[in-house]
């Protein structure tokens, strides 16, 4: 047990002299104050000095700089260094030796800023490893607090592996190297990747030195692109091209592998410097053609999925890595030029017949039209000559219309077989694409798989019975439907058409008619063999005028005859002897001649 220490006042202590500063054996207050001040560090405002942390909590750090009072610094100014502890020496910036409360105001952040550029440059020159605090994300990377300066950490410099989640690094303190400084704009770029690359480079050299073609290694999927997969082989990267992922077709590598997946890969090739390593995944599996059923032969039916479409055909996968081509000509019995997309699309499940099979070349051709009966096998039975059918207009040419009666059965209607009465210049005047048209089978060409068809033959030839109606000289009412340089096309009764030259179109007043005018026309010629009717409008009034002129001339002749006949009531003059003598002389004269 400790003994209790008893104290008592000094009885003869001169309190009055003490207050006056006249205590014997002691210095004056001024002397004591001067001595105390001289024992403290001499400091100035706006100066950077070193201090020691004497106390530390979650909010503040108490720093002793050897001054008469201690300074307090917010602990967040030390967040770049999570290992800070009591007893550590830190740099501080003296903002004010004494505020209104008599408190010493210090700042560690400003102290760091005042010397940060000097230290940043030294770190770059000396290739020094420094610590920094990752404050936040930014476009393309992170913002790092280094010595109080905001430096940029590119995303590609965080790690040797691609970073998919940047947020996990926010708030962490990491080691970095300064890789670039822009003195003019005060920009600093740092890298964490540079710290581990040196170590990885040594590992990479060791791995590459042992590489051999055909060697099987374990790797981890590092990155996936549209053209392939990058594999980390333990410090060195290799690429599996999309075509080497699977024997089957692959639209995107993500269909086969996933990020961070561990795989066995085989080395296919590498360059002389061994910087590019080509890897394969499918090569570790047997080729699907080698496993194809040996009993499979031409003529067999197979099922598969359409994996690729082209205008000329479709590639069908009947087993993983085993494909056959269905050419567009083998998709339908139709002879029309069509695109393969008209019949199927990617992803369709189809049944087909094997047409050719070459196991050595690993090629196969398929067909789907063979699953249906060839419509031309019994064409004479189903479409005999003279039979009537409904067809669909497929195409036009200058000489006729191509139609399809059913899929694979095509025919041609010649332009002369479209109509008995209309003069068709082009088939598009008579019908249109996609329209249905009634036809009669005229001829069958089985070798060339083509029918000769007619449309006008559905009706009797009207020219046989119209000869008595459109007799030359008869008057017919017609409407002008088309004007041409050589004349006009005129629509007549009974669906007939006639033609009149310009001189036969002139009206009585000398004007010319126009399209849509309805006039009377006189039939000049009816040609049944050439199926032509020639008309004239002007001939009507010309003939009338001519008839009137003839009547007038006939009347004049009749009148002149009446005037020449003798009148019975006219008195007859007697011939005198002198007249008879003159006549006799004239007779003798004529006889002499």
Task: Name all domains of the chain by residue range, CATH numbers in brackets.
Answer: 13-37 (no CATH), 43-126 (2.40.50.140), 127-196 (2.40.50.140), 210-284 (2.40.50.140), 288-371 (2.40.50.140), 379-458 (2.40.50.140), 462-542 (2.40.50.140)
Cα(288)–Cα(248) distance, integer angstroms: 9
Confidence of residue 228 (pLDDT cuts 50, 70, 90): very high
pLDDT at 593 > cutoff 60: no
pLDDT at 568 > cutoff 50: no
Mean pLDDT of the chain: 79
Please enumerate in sequence order all residues whose Cβ is within 8 A of that of 4, keeping only pairs 6 or more positions apart, or say none. none
Quick one: average pLDDT of 198-224? 81
Confidence of residue 229 (pLDDT cuts 50, 70, 90): very high
Cα(218)–Cα(560) distance, integer angstroms: 134
Phi first, then psi: give them for residue 317, nearest 5 degrees.
-90, 110
Among residues 510, 508, 494, 503, the alpha carbon closest in space to that of 536 is found at 503
Lowest mean pLDDT among 48-62, 110-124, 247-261, 381-395: 110-124
Q: What's the distance, CA 38 to chain centroid?
A: 84
pLDDT at 274 > cutoff 60: no
pLDDT at 125 > cutoff 80: yes
Which residue shows structure tokens 């920009």?
A: 187
Cα(63)–Cα(84) distance, integer angstroms: 12
Contact 153, 144 (CB under 8 A): yes
Among residues 242, 240, 245, 317, the alpha carbon closest in space to that of 282 is found at 245
Lowest mean pLDDT among 309-323, 389-403, 506-520, 534-548: 534-548
Cα(21)–Cα(29) distance, integer angstroms: 6
Lowest mean pLDDT among 195-209, 272-286, 485-499: 195-209
Per-residue pLDDT tens digits for 77-96: 888 788 888 888 888 888 77
Per-residue pLDDT tens digits for 139-192: 888 999 888 788 999 888 888 777 778 888 888 888 888 988 888 877 889 988
Residue 102: what pLDDT? 67
More confident residue, 424 or 275: 424
**Apex 314 CA angle, 284 and 329, nearest 5:** 140
Tokens describing residue 303: 């099922």
Residue 5: what pLDDT? 47
Task: Please state whether beta strands 71-74 and 173-182 pair in parallel, antiparallel, or not at all (unpaired).
Answer: unpaired
Lowest mean pLDDT among 6-15, 42-51, 326-335, 554-563: 6-15
| CA distance to 43, 82, 112, 119, 277, per residue, from 144 (Å) | 32, 15, 15, 16, 35
Residue 150: what pLDDT? 86
Residue 230: what pLDDT? 92
More confident residue, 544 or 305: 305
Per-residue pLDDT tens digits for 346-380: 888 999 999 999 888 888 999 988 888 877 777 88
Quick one: average pLDDT of 441-449? 82
Per-residue pLDDT tens digits for 398-438: 888 888 888 778 888 888 778 766 777 788 878 888 888 88
Task: Please state whether beta strands 149-154 and 141-146 pair in parallel, antiparallel, or not at all (unpaired).
Answer: antiparallel
Residue 23: what pLDDT? 52
Contact 333, 372 (CB under 8 A): yes
Percentage of residues in the chain having pLDDT higher than 70? 82
More confident residue, 241 or 462: 241
Contact 176, 146 (CB under 8 A): yes
For 155-276, list the strands marked E by DSSP: 173-182, 187-191, 216-224, 228-232, 237-241, 262-270
Residue 279: what pLDDT? 92
Contact 65, 92 (CB under 8 A): yes
Cα(218)–Cα(277) distance, integer angstroms: 14
Per-residue pLDDT tens digits for 22-49: 555 455 556 555 554 544 455 666 677 8
Please enumerate in sequence order all residues whose Cβ is within 8 A of that of 261, keeping only pairs 6 or more positions apart, or say none. 220, 221
Size of the chain in residues = 593
Residue 2: what pLDDT? 46
């Amino acid at each position: 047990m400790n003994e209790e220490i008893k104290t008592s006042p000094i009885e003869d202590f001169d309190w009055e002299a003490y207050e006056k500063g006249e205590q014997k054996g002691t210095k004056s207050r001024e002397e004591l104050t001067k001595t105390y001040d001289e024992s403290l560090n001499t400091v100035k405002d706006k100066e950077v000095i070193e201090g020691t942390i004497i106390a530390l909590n979650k909010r503040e750090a108490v720093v002793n700089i050897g001054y008469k009072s201690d300074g307090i610094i917010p602990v967040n100014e030390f967040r770049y260094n999570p290992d800070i502890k009591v007893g550590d020496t830190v740099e501080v910036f003296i903002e004010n030796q004494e505020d209104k409360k008599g408190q010493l105001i210090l700042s560690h952040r400003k102290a760091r800023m005042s010397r940060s550029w000097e230290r940043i440059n030294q770190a770059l020159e000396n290739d020094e490893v420094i610590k920094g605090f990752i404050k936040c994300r930014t476009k393309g990377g992170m913002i790092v607090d280094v010595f109080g300066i905001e430096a940029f950490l590119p995303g590609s410099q965080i790690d040797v592996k691609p970073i998919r989640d940047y947020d996990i690094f926010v708030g962490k303190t990491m080691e970095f190297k300064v890789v670039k400084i822009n003195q003019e704009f005060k920009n600093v770029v740092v890298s964490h990747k540079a710290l581990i690359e040196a170590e990885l480079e040594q590992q990479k050299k060791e791995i590459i030195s042992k590489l051999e073609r055909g060697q099987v290694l374990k790797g981890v999927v590092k990155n996936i692109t549209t053209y392939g997969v990058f594999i980390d082989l333990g410090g060195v990267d290799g690429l599996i091209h999309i075509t080497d992922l699977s024997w089957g077709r692959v639209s995107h590598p993500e269909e086969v592998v996933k990020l961070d997946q561990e795989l066995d890969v085989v080395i296919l090739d590498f360059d002389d410097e061994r910087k590019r390593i080509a890897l394969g995944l499918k090569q570790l599996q047997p080729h699907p053609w080698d496993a194809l059923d040996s009993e499979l032969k031409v003529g067999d039916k197979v099922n598969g999925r359409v994996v690729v479409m082209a205008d000329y055909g479709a590639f069908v996968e009947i087993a993983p890595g085993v494909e056959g081509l269905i050419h567009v000509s083998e998709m339908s019995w139709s002879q029309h030029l069509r695109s393969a997309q008209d019949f199927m699309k990617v992803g369709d499940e189809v049944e087909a017949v094997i047409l050719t099979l070459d196991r050595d070349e690993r090629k196969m051709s398929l067909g789907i039209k063979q699953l249906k009966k060839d419509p031309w096998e019994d064409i004479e039975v189903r479409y005999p000559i003279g039979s009537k059918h409904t067809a669909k207009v497929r195409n036009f040419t200058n000489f006729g219309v191509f139609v399809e009666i059913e899929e694979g059965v095509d025919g041609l209607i010649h332009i002369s077989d479209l109509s008995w009465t209309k003069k068709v210049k082009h088939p598009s005047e008579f019908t249109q694409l996609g329209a249905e048209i009634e036809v009669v089978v005229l001829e069958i060409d089985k070798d060339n798989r083509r029918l000769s068809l007619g449309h006008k033959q559905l009706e009797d030839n009207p020219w046989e019975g119209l000869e008595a109606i459109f007799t030359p000289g008869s008057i017919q009412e017609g409407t002008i439907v088309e004007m041409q340089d050589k004349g006009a096309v005129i629509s007549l009764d009974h669906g007939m058409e006639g033609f009149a030259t310009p001189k036969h179109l002139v009206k009585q007043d000398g004007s010319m008619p126009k399209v849509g005018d309805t006039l009377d026309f006189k039939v000049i010629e009816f040609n049944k063999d050439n199926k032509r009717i020639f008309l004239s409008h002007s001939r009507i009034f010309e003939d009338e005028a001519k008839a009137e002129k003839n009547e007038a001339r006939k009347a004049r002749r009749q009148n002149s005859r009446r005037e020449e006949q003798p009148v019975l009531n006219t008195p007859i003059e007697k011939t005198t002897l002198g007249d008879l003598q003159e006549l006799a002389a004239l007779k003798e004269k004529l006889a002499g001649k």
